[in-house]
Amino acid sequence: MATEIASEAAPGQNAADIIALNEKKTVELGNEVSHDIEILPTNEPEKTYFSKASVWLMILFSGLAIGSDGYNAAVIGNVELLLAVLYPESLTSAIYTRLSNAFLIGMIVGMLLFGVVVDQLGRKTGAVATTVLLVLGIVLSTAANGTDQTGMFWMLIIARGIAGVGAGGEYPVSGAGAAEATDESGKYRKHRGFMFAMLADLSASLGYVWGGLVPLLLLLCVKQKEEHYDIVWRTSFALGLIPPLVIFWFRLRMAVSTAYRKSAMRKQRVPYWLALKRYWRPLVGCAGTWFLYNWISIPFGIFSSTIISRANTGESLVKNLGWGVVINCFYIPGPFLGGYLSDKIGRRQTMALGFTLQAVMGFVLGGAMGPIQSIFPLFVVMYGIFLTLGEVGPGSTVVLTASECFPTSIRGQMMGFVSAWSKAGAAIGTQVFTAILNAYADDPSKGNQTAFLIGSGFAVLGAIVALFVIPEVSRRLDDDDQAWKQYLQENGWEANWGDEETKDPAGVVLNKAVS
């Protein structure tokens, strides 16, 4: 848990004296100062820019946004099962691949694009635009049609791509916005790890669960009649509209965070080379761990087929969807433990711990796959723990580290770049794991064993990167903002800092006296 150390500032002492005193205390503490220690002056004015309710609403609605993205990413896999039954000839392998990849490619574009938008045009502009694009994509997906079935599929592919751009943009938008909202006061910083675990990891996991549960429930509502499958898949898409529509009004009422108000570089050239020289280490560390996490986490969803075959459920579509929901539920417990640990022992330590425990469990599963698979309940439980441990470590911390490791003026762009690597990890990992299982088609147990062993090896690599590449950083965002400004000044880069253009909604008062 973060510890705040207050400087003994005398009445009337100016800012320069306070900074000098803080620097002196930092020297006296030696090299023991880490991200768990904050140096704060006692006469720092109480911030009422964001009320307690505002901070929690920011976390809640950011979580709804990322959960909505999880739902829209997961629902397509279940919808494709229905489309394959309805349109067996038109849903060719090429169309199937494009439909599966459209949302993912759109997300990568959205992450990179809106990383720039939220830094250059403001958090609010980015938040509203991503919501509009996501809603547009979902509406078009629901209404997909054409002169023939192939035309309908092409409209669906384009619509899914548009929705993906909006969904991908949520990562820099929600990550940067939530980090800055929780920086308004030390009492929020102390619990930022848990907040982010709920925002990013739990909400995405719940989104994936609902992505499987909604089509299942709709299928049961129509009594599994094939003539109603069209209603099921369109309604599954349409229900994804609820979260973004719920948060839209709130986003129109967003206030500018103190960090962005003070340290933005709006509508200015960005010193990318200087940023790379200064932040290459967190950039490599955050991108690497997020890549490895998704390389392991996402592809292991394919093991649902293994569990289904072991359960001997046959070809029932309802049972296939049901087992998919059960598997995704294993992701849910991890964020609670991971969020708690990240505030207690640190972000990178929690990440490394989760990676390591996941690797151990994976090596056990891989090493004794035959005996374990012969006891179906044991396999399900051990497989579930394997998934949970991934969420305890990197799942709970990757978004948080990417938000804290960079200064406000480039936070969105850096986070967009890092999160794009995560989707690359998911895509590459899925292809590799599929190739592994196909290579052992005659011996499925051997294929499962190989996949677990390789995945566990990557988890070990993730733990090493987390511990030795990701640096310790202050939990107080302004510390790095000030260091970044000084670094640019020392290198001859002139910038106009802050956001004086964006107007806050009526009723938002800055520096209001606290009664």
* 37 DSSP β-pair partners: 3
Residues in the chain with pLDDT values less than 50:
1-49, 310-313, 509-515
Rounded Cα–Cα distance for residues 391 and 452 (Å): 17
Q: Which domains does the chain have, with CATH numbers?
A: 50-263+271-492 (1.20.1250.20)
For residue 7, the cross-strand partners are 41
Distance (Å, whole) CA 84 – CA 91: 6
Chain centroid, CA 307 distance in Å: 27
Q: Which residues of 414-436 are buried (b: 16+ CB within 10 A; e: fewer)?
A: bbbbbbbbbbbbbbebbeebeeb
Interatomic CA distance for residues 500 and 264, integer angstroms = 10
3-state SS, 167-195, equals HHHHHHHHHHHHHHHCCCCHHHHCCHHHH
Predicted local confidence at residue 298, as pLDDT? 79
Alpha carbon 43 to its chain's center: 36
Give the DSSP H/E element, type plus range, for residue 141: helix 123-142
Cβ-contact 165, 109 below 8 angstroms: yes
Question: What is the model's pLDDT at position 314?
Answer: 53
Burial 450-481 (b: 16+ CB within 10 A, else e): bbbbbbbebbbbbbbbbbebbeebbbbbbbbb
pLDDT at 469: 95
pLDDT at 317: 66
- For the chain, give percent helix, strand, coil, nearest 5: 75, 0, 25
Residue 31 is predicted with a pLDDT of: 40
| Residue that the structure tokens 């570089």 belong to | 265
Residue 48 has what pLDDT?
46
* Per-residue model confidence (pLDDT) at position 300: 78
